[in-house]
Each structure stands twice: as C-alpha cells, then as structure tokens.
Structure 1
Amino acid sequence: MKRTILTYILALLLPVLAMGQEELNKYLTIAAENNPGLQAAFNNYLSALEKAPQVRALPDPQLAFGYFIQPVETRNGPQEFKFSATQMFPWFGTLKAKENSTIQQAQAQYELFEEKRSKLFNEVKANWYNLYFTNKAVGITLENIDILNTFKKLAAVKVEAGKVSAVDQYRIEMEINDLENQLANLRDKQYVQEVAFNKLLNVEEPVTLTWPDSLWTTDFYLNKSAALDSIKLKNHQLLSIDMQKEALAFKKQAAKKAGAPSFSLGIDYVAIGKGANNLSGKDAIAFPKVGLTIPLYRNKYQSMVQEVVYLEMAKDYERVDKANVLEVLFENTWKDYSDAHRRIDLFGDQLYLARKAMKLLETEYAYANKNFEEILRMERRLLQYQLELEKARTDKQAAIAFIGYLMGK
C-alpha cells in the first residue's frame, strides 16, 4: 500500500520534470519506484503522520479496585470492595495544539522527502548526461581513428610512389595509437559510469541505455532574477524549515496551556454486603467525582515556553543561513549555465571552421603533398572541438537540472 502511494505521488510530479525528454523520463520513473533512499524518506513521512492520532488522544483513564480485608461496617452492611474510574482532561486546546504541532512536523518530513526526490532526479540527470558525453566521446574518437586510417592509406600510397617520406606514416600511426589508448580509457570510464547509474536506479538487471542523436540545447525557461525568487519560495529545504517553525509555534501554544489547570472526572462504586441485622446488601455510588490539578511550579512551564522561543530563533537563523548557501550555489550554477551557453556557440563555430580548413588541407596534401604536419594538428583540433561542443551541451543541461533541483523541481 505504501509503495502504491509513493508511486502515485511521483507520477503526479514527473510530467513537469523533463517534458519532451523521453529518453531521460523513463530512467527518472525507474529511480522513483526503486531507489531505497527515496523509499526510506517516504516511510519516514508516513511514520511522522502516525504521531498525530497519538498526541490528540486523551490520557488513558485510571481504574482502581480495592478489597476490604476487614469489611467496614455501615448501617446498611459491611463494605466489601470498592471500584473507581477517573479520566483526566487537559486544559482546553492543549491536545489540538499538540496535534497541529505534530502535523506540521509531518509536513516538514514530507518536504524532506520532496528534497530527496529532487536530489535523486538531479543525480539521475547528471549521471545520464555524463554517460551521454562519454558515449559521444567514444563515437567521436572512433570517427577520428577512421579518418586517420584513411590518411594512413593515402600516405602509404605516396610513400610507395616516393612522393613523401615514411615519417608521415609513422606520425599517423603514433596519432592512432594515442587515440586507441584514449578510446580504451573512455570505454573503461563508460563501464564504471553505467554501473553507478544502475545502482542509482537500484535495478537487478542493467537497463538498456538510449541516447538522442544530439543533446537538446534548450535554454532555461526563467530569467536569473525569477529563478532566484523561485528558489527562495519553493526550495524544499527552506520549506521544511518553515514547516518546523510552524510546528514550534503550535508547540509553544501547547507549552503555555500545559501551565493551565487540568481536570478529572470519575465515579466510585462501593459494594455493600448483607448486614448483621439481616438487611439486604445495597450498592452505594458516589458520582460525580471531580478533580483539579493545579500547576504550582511556574518556573517549569515558563522554561518550557522559553525553550521553544529559543528554538524558533534558531530556525530563523537556520533559514537565513540555508538561503545564503542556496544563493551562492545558484550564482555558481548560473555562471556555469551561461558559460556553457557561450561555449556551445563558440565551439559550434570553431568546429565548422576546422572542418572547412581540414578539407582544404586534405586537398593540398592529396595533390601537392603539402602541409602534412598541419593536417595532424588540425585533426587534433577537430577532435578537441567536437568533444568540447558535446561537453558544453551536457554542462548546460546539467546546470539547468541543478537549478531545477534548487527550485524544488
């Protein structure tokens, strides 16, 4: 039943997380259903909800039974045993204040669950973006190895024809060896990332990973000022602190009411046996029995209220501190987002120019045996720009995902 509730809540939230990003959405769903940390946070929230019925209930009634070993004689007969029942009633509103405090504490736990969900989704996105980049880097490296192999064949033909030195072949082989080593490192890195990703999803069998042909480059939908305002209003860590402070307000009410009198109502039942004058036994009932508990030691209750006052002040400072930390995180992330946006434009242009230059150099080498060293240099830059462009795309989306996390998305 609890798992059904969790899945239902997450199903309501998922559509706003990554609309139009189907490749990523399915992994978010798997993580939401299986991640043990998220399950633990949700069960902590359910546990907190169960405290409300406990605190709103009246104190347990007191029952007492007394048996007279030597019956007390009355004119109606001897008293044989006595039974009494008493129910205590705290001051009006005390139980309601305690219940409200507990409910707000449960809401604070729910915000922590939401924080855990947002953090999990950000981690899934960040890991998926890293895997996307590594996968693209493998493909780009293989593509560059193929290009070098083509040049290697061309150089071999020219060496046989005596048009160029065999050094050209050796240089190409050295470049290929470097790229093959880089490729092996990338594949090792890819395997480790896949293991970490599957552990994050907590699945028994590794999931099949799919990628778009090119990562989307959509911009963040809010401007900087609006995004920061949204963080201050909707961040789940801040909302949890707000809920905790509201719980303290109700706890202060309960502490004040604890210093008020409490009441008790009850009955006494006395069983009277058959008397010496052969009178039939007669039960005597004393009702009502009213009691009053007067809290005389005021320092105790004043201290309870002052304790909550200090806790409220602590929560105020905690919220300011958390808001400052979040603002710094946001500023750094927005800087990364802006930088990635610029790099996409830069390396897109650089890659376009590098490819045009590479074609010209290929033509010159094919027909005039010129600029071989420049070809190798340009090939390295072409590889660099391809990787830098994909890295900029992933960095931009990772920054957007983290800003979304700070906003409680």
Structure 2
Amino acid sequence: MEGRKLSFKSLLVLFTLHFSFLTYNSSAQQLESYIQVAEENNPQIQSFNLKYEIAEEKINEVNAYPDTEFGIGYFVSEPETRTGPQKLRLSVRQMLPWFGTITARENYAGSMADAEYVEIAVAKRQLALAVAQAYYRLYANEAKQKILQENIELLETFHELALNSLEVGSASAVDVLRLQMRQNDLAQQKESLEQEFNAEEVLFNNLLNREENLSVKVVDSLFIPETQPNEKERVAEVHPELLKFDKLYESVVEAEKLNLKDAAPKLGFGVDYVSVADRTDMALADNGKDILMPMVSLSIPIFNSKYKSVTKQNELRQKELQAQKDQRLNLLQTRLEEAISIRNSARVTANTFIENLEQAKDAEEILVRSYETGTIDFNDVLEIQELQLKFQTGLIESVKNYYMQAAVINYLSK
C-alpha cells in the first residue's frame, strides 16, 4: 500500500504544467532557418525576382535611338535632267530625340525597376509572417498533444487505483467507467490534434515549397517574456508596403519628365543619293554626274494636346498614389494596434492561467493527503483533472496567440 501511495503522489505531479522553457533565441534561430528556406524556394519571390530583372533590362531597351531608315528607289520612268536621266535613288534617315530624352527614358525605366524591387521586399515579409504563424500553430498543436498524453497516462494510474479501491469497497464501478470514458475522450482529442498537425505540416511545407511529407521540428516550449517593450510600436516609415507607393510616385515624376521631353521638337538627319546616267545626245560638263543631297529635318508637335493630357493624368496619378499611401498607412496602423492589443491580452490571460494552475496544484496536494488517509473521491479527481487540462491548454493557446501577434507586430514595425 505504501508503495502505491508513493507512486500515486509522484504521478500526481503530472497535473501541473511544467515548461522547460528554452530561450527565445533558440526558437528564433530555428524559425529563421525555415524562413530562409522558404525565401529561397518560394515561386512567388522567384517570379518577382524575374520581373525585377526584366524591369532592369528595360533600361537597356530604352537606351537606344530610333531606328535608322534606309530606302532604295528605281525610276521606271527615268526623269531627264540637264546632266542625264535619273536611274536610282538611295536614301538614309536618322531621327534624333530632343536633348536629354534618352536619359529621361532611362530614369523612368529605372524608377519602374525600383518599384518592382520593393515588391520583392513586400513578398518576403509576407512570406516570413505566414511561415512564423504556421510555425506557432504547429508548436501549440504539438504542445497540446504532449499535455493530453500526460493526462491519459495519469488517468491510467487513476484507473488502476480505482480498480484496487473497488476491490476493498472504497470505490464504485461507476468511478471506474467514468475514468475509462475520460481516457477515451482524451485519446479522441489527441487523435484529432494529430490529424490537424498533419494538415498544418503540409501547409507549412508548401510555404517552404518542399515535399509535403517532410517532418517539421518545432521548439519544445515557449514562454512569454516577463518584460514588455516600453517604446510604443509604430509602423515603420520605410515599410515596404508604404515604400512601394513612394517608388510609384517617383516613377510618375520621371514619366512626366519624359513626357515633356517627348513634347519637344525632334531632329532628323539624312542624305539622298541619286544615280544619273550619261547623256548620249550631247557632250556636257558633268555629264552623268550623280546627285548627293544632305538633309536636315525638324519635327515640331504643333498639335500637343496629347502631351498636355498626359501631364494632367500624371498630376492626378500622383494625388491618387498619395491618397492610397495614406489609406494603407491607416490600415497598417490599425492592424498594428489590434495586434498589440491581442498580444497584451494574451499576456494577461497567460498570467491568469498560471495562477489557476498553481491553485490546482494546491488541490492536487489535498487529493494526495486524502489518498494517504484511505479516502479518495474520484469525482473530485476527474473535476480537478479537467480544470487542470483546461488551464494547461489555455496557457498554450495564450502563448501561441502572443507569438503570432508578435510576428504581426514585427512585420509592421521593423
């Protein structure tokens, strides 16, 4: 009997949730390695990288003059000139944009490439947030499974004690059946969590763009830091989601500069060569002499309403982008405040669960003393066990919520 008492007392310690907390740095390093794999493998980021390379190559495309025009003509009906009939005409033309137009095109193409590059930064941040939150969901799921397994083992001990008590008449068959049903219920909950974990693991591997059946290792335990940041978190001024609008605004500025250059006159240079045959009816000076005619042309956009319209569109586009940026900033700030509120609430909730767990431990000690005196109420055992499990899973959920919102705050404020 004494041996059973000692075994029972030692197993009752399983009632209390003990976190062998690792440091946050250990968890962060593991998570960071997953994020790095995701960034390297993610097809969306690869797509954005290719779009950026295309945008950069666009700079080389615009850094060119208009095509040179070549022409050749043959006189079917040869026009007669003083020095002979014209046989063949060759021409070459080259139009040149106004001074600085090529540079303006390069600057515009470069600003568009900068905007594409910001899209890469946005995609990386969003991917890191998705990976982090999936990681914390996996952690919470695995932690709950461990707690359920501990409680199942504990109930098995209670079941054996109930059978022994049934033999001596200090417990009823109903107590035994209730313990068995409670074990079955916990086993079913654990099995459901295992199915959820498998589905979440597939999602996680898809985020990393790797084989779905690869196992995911998560940290054994997490804790909520005792100290809370004193500084008020704010949306980063250079947050990619806001910087994107700045880069697009700059591209519109460059587009207007290019528009003004396109509205300027264009110069053209060329030369015509006419082949002239000899006259056979008389001898002349310069008989059959070919003609060479250099030419200069000037293209003036007299009807420039098109360029004025583009200028107006650019002005409206700038106002639109500024309004969009202000709206995005408001949304991000609201999202940040919500995340801070949920994170702080998770801290308070976790502290409450910790206090309740300590009180449950006191109840556990009372049960131990009751067993040692030969009287134990298995209804109280089940009630305490259910409360304890509720507090344990609630604490895990609070820790998960804390870190998921911390990931959102990190996404918005760093």
- The reply to whether TM is greater than 0.5 is yes
1:228 deviates by: 1.0
Question: Are 1:198 and 2:202 matched, yes or no?
Answer: no
Equivalence map 1:9-408=2 (5 Å) = 21-204=28-211, 206-218=213-225, 223=230, 225=232, 227-230=233-236, 233-276=237-280, 277=282, 281-287=288-294, 289-407=295-413
Q: Distance in 2 between matches of 1:323 and 1:193?
A: 32
Contact 1:152 1:169 in 2 (8 A): yes
Tell me: CA distance 1:346–1:376, structure 2 relative to 1, closer, same or farther (3 Å): same
Q: Distance in 1 between matches of 2:61 and 2:230?
A: 47
Q: Distance in 1 between matches of 2:334 and 2:33?
A: 32
Contact 2:27 2:219 in 1 (8 A): no
Contact 1:220 1:400 in 2 (8 A): no
Structure 2 counterpart SS, 1:234 = coil
1:97 deviates by: 2.0
Q: Distance in 2 between matches of 1:42 and 1:217?
A: 37
1:96 deviates by: 2.0
Q: Distance in 1 between matches of 2:362 and 2:36?
A: 43
Q: CA deviation digits over 1:306-330, x for unaligned, max 9?
A: 0111111111111111111111111
Contact 2:273 2:290 in 1 (8 A): yes
Letter in 2 for 1:255: N
Q: Distance in 2 between matches of 1:391 and 1:127?
A: 14
Letter in 2 for 1:128: Y
Structure 2 counterpart SS, 1:228 = coil
1:360 deviates by: 2.5
Q: Distance in 1 between matches of 2:199 and 2:121?
A: 29
Letter in 1 for 2:123: K
Contact 1:358 1:379 in 2 (8 A): no
1:218 deviates by: 4.5
Q: Distance in 2 between matches of 1:252 and 1:314?
A: 15
Tell me: CA distance 1:222–1:310, structure 2 relative to 1, closer, same or farther (3 Å): farther
Q: Distance in 1 between matches of 2:238 and 2:202?
A: 33
Contact 1:56 1:98 in 2 (8 A): yes
Contact 2:138 2:218 in 1 (8 A): no
Q: What TM-score, normalized to structure 2? A: 0.87
1:240 deviates by: 0.7
Q: Distance in 2 between matches of 1:333 and 1:172?
A: 41
Residue 13 (structure 1) aligns with: none
Contact 2:206 2:212 in 1 (8 A): no
Report which stretch shifted further, 370-379 or 191-200.
Answer: 370-379
Q: What TM-score, normalized to structure 1? A: 0.88
Aligned CA-pair RMSD: 2.2
1:222 deviates by: 5.8
1:347 deviates by: 2.2
Task: In structure 1, list runs of 5 or more residues that go unmatched.
Answer: 1-17
Tell me: CA distance 1:273–1:20, structure 2 relative to 1, closer, same or farther (3 Å): farther
Q: Distance in 1 between matches of 2:346 and 2:207?
A: 26
Contact 2:201 2:212 in 1 (8 A): no
Q: Distance in 2 between matches of 1:296 and 1:221?
A: 67
Q: CA deviation digits over 1:321-376, x for unaligned, max 9?
A: 11111111111111111112223333233323323322332331343424432221
1:33 deviates by: 1.8
Contact 1:362 1:375 in 2 (8 A): no
1:244 deviates by: 0.4
Q: Distance in 2 between matches of 1:363 and 1:171?
A: 22
Q: Distance in 1 between matches of 2:46 and 2:227?
A: 30
1:234 deviates by: 2.2
Tell me: CA distance 1:219–1:58, structure 2 relative to 1, closer, same or farther (3 Å): farther
Q: CA deviation digits over 1:8-38, x for unaligned, max 9?
A: xxxxxxxxxx886232222212211222222
Structure 2 counterpart SS, 1:292 = strand
Alignment: residue pair count: 387
Report which stretch shifted further, 113-122 or 371-380.
Answer: 371-380
Q: Distance in 2 between matches of 1:306 and 1:361?
A: 82
Letter in 1 for 2:181: M
Q: Percent identity?
A: 31
Q: Distance in 2 between matches of 1:223 and 1:241?
A: 31
Q: Distance in 2 between matches of 1:219 and 1:299?
A: 66
Tell me: CA distance 1:263–1:242, structure 2 relative to 1, closer, same or farther (3 Å): same
Report which stretch shifted further, 296-305 or 123-132.
Answer: 296-305
Q: Distance in 1 between matches of 2:139 and 2:291?
A: 86
Q: Distance in 1 between matches of 2:100 and 2:267?
A: 13
Tell me: CA distance 1:221–1:201, structure 2 relative to 1, closer, same or farther (3 Å): farther
Report which stretch shifted further, 49-58 or 309-318.
Answer: 49-58
Q: Distance in 1 between matches of 2:235 and 2:324?
A: 18
